[in-house]
Structure 1
Amino acid sequence: MAKTSNINYPADYLPTPLQDGFGLTPISPLLRTQFTSGRARQRRLYKSTPTQAAVTWLFTEGESQLFEAWFSEGLTDGVSWFNMPLRTPLGLGDYVCRFTDIYDGPVLVGGKYWQFTATLELWERPVLPPGSTEFPDYIVNADIIDIAANREWPQS
């Protein structure tokens, strides 16, 4: 079941998190039972599990003020789920997220910017839809297909 939210990250006023140091950590959907023989039984316990994302922002002073106010008022101090554009291996897309705890910061960087770091919980792991592995060439060579299509096909 897909999660939705009517709260949006103020992307028109605040930048997306920095790509440097951005990382995704999926929560395991597996249940593993170790036997005394040394073997183990492993099975999928859940089909949909969250992913945690380590994020960092650099904000100007005004952006910092807006971010902290949005976190406090708009998200009820980080309790609420919200929609946010994030870059994953699937590309830039909107994901339903929430903060796992309050952010760290602000930390003054270079005498001009304020750095905030946090861990976000994405409702779903960013993976291709079921059935996508039937056409691995289209996945692995998507950039070649995109380049050829844009270079060779006329504009409409």
Structure 2
Amino acid sequence: MYFFPSLLPKPLQSGYSRKYQPNMLRTQMSDGYVRQRLVNQGAPDSLSVTWMFTAAEFQEFLNWFKGNIHCGADWFVCPLLDNTANSVTYQYVRIQKGAFTQALVFRNDETAMHKVSCTLDVSNTVVDDGSWEDHYLPAGSTDDEFGLADTVEGARIADIDSVIEEDIDTGAGIGNVTTTESASTWDEV
């Protein structure tokens, strides 16, 4: 699993826009309204992001882009604002078509500033396994120092069936189920 480099700045809030794209089928009818049906809800969202990098940061981004995520073909974990823009979540993303735009904002004798813009495919799965701490928190610190990283969903989509089965097997979420020997009936406590 690849992570966005922790030493690089997070995306700018200005111009941060998310496009929700449910997977729909539309059928043009010969008369009347168009028929529209939801195929599934698993389509990734599109997110337009922009970063501002110094010359050294841009070079690090370019090396990571070409080497680690194979020119944008691979998915990686990136810190992004959640849907309410109140907190940061760590989500699986990839760069659409591996394409980004780099513009030179200014240059002087000491450094240059680069503006990098791209559109990300954002998976509905949020990283909630704690592995982000190894990449984004300095050694020996807690996430209380940097604010709690909330998740959009409690369980990963791939693991939801095992969570449901475990709840059914253990009785979790249903209430405490006990038996009484005298009546031999099930009582909910």
Tell me the TM-score normalised to structure 2 length. 0.59
How many angstroms apart in 2 are the aligned matches of 1:128 and 1:69? 30
CA contact (8 A) 2:72 2:99 kept: yes
User: Which runs of no fewer than 5 residues in structure 2 stay unpaired?
Assistant: 127-150, 155-189
* 2:4 corresponds to which of 4, 9, 19: 9
- Residue 38 (structure 2) aligns with: 44
- Residue 62 (structure 1) aligns with: 56
CA contact (8 A) 1:50 1:125 kept: no
CA contact (8 A) 2:101 2:116 kept: yes
Letter in 2 for 1:81: W
How many angstroms apart in 2 are the aligned matches of 1:113 and 1:53? 23
CA contact (8 A) 1:16 1:57 kept: yes
Query: Larger radius of gyration, structure 1 or 2?
Result: 2
Letter in 1 for 2:118: A
Give 3-state SS (helix, strand or coil) of 2:3's partner: coil
How many angstroms apart in 2 are the aligned matches of 1:129 and 1:114? 34
Tell me the TM-score normalised to structure 1 length. 0.70
Report which stretch shifted further, 90-99 or 116-125. 116-125
Q: Could you say what the CA RMSD is over the residues aligned between the two structures, in angstroms?
A: 2.2
The verdict on how the C-alpha distance between 1:128 and 1:79 changes in structure 2, with shifts beyond 3 A counting, is: closer
Give 3-state SS (helix, strand or coil) of 1:53's partner: strand
- Tell which has more relative contact order, 1 or 2 (C-alpha 8 A, sep 6+): 1
How many angstroms apart in 1 are the aligned matches of 2:52 and 2:63? 16
CA contact (8 A) 2:100 2:118 kept: yes
1:23, distance to aligned residue in structure 2 (A): 0.8
1:125, distance to aligned residue in structure 2 (A): 8.3
CA contact (8 A) 1:108 1:114 kept: yes
CA contact (8 A) 1:99 1:119 kept: yes
Letter in 2 for 1:34: Q
1:41, distance to aligned residue in structure 2 (A): 2.4
Give 3-state SS (helix, strand or coil) of 2:26's partner: strand
How many angstroms apart in 2 are the aligned matches of 1:125 and 1:53? 15
The verdict on how the C-alpha distance between 1:124 and 1:110 changes in structure 2, with shifts beyond 3 A counting, is: same
Give 3-state SS (helix, strand or coil) of 1:97's partner: strand
The verdict on how the C-alpha distance between 1:10 and 1:128 changes in structure 2, with shifts beyond 3 A counting, is: closer
Letter in 2 for 1:116: V
CA contact (8 A) 2:105 2:113 kept: yes
Moved over 4 A (4+): 125-130
1:42, distance to aligned residue in structure 2 (A): 2.1
CA contact (8 A) 1:26 1:125 kept: no
Pick the structure with more helix per residue.
1
User: Which runs of no fewer than 5 residues in structure 1 stay unpaired?
Assistant: 1-5, 131-156
Equivalent runs, 1:81-120 vs 2, <5 Å: 81-90=75-84, 91-100=87-96, 101-105=98-102, 107-111=103-107, 112-120=112-120
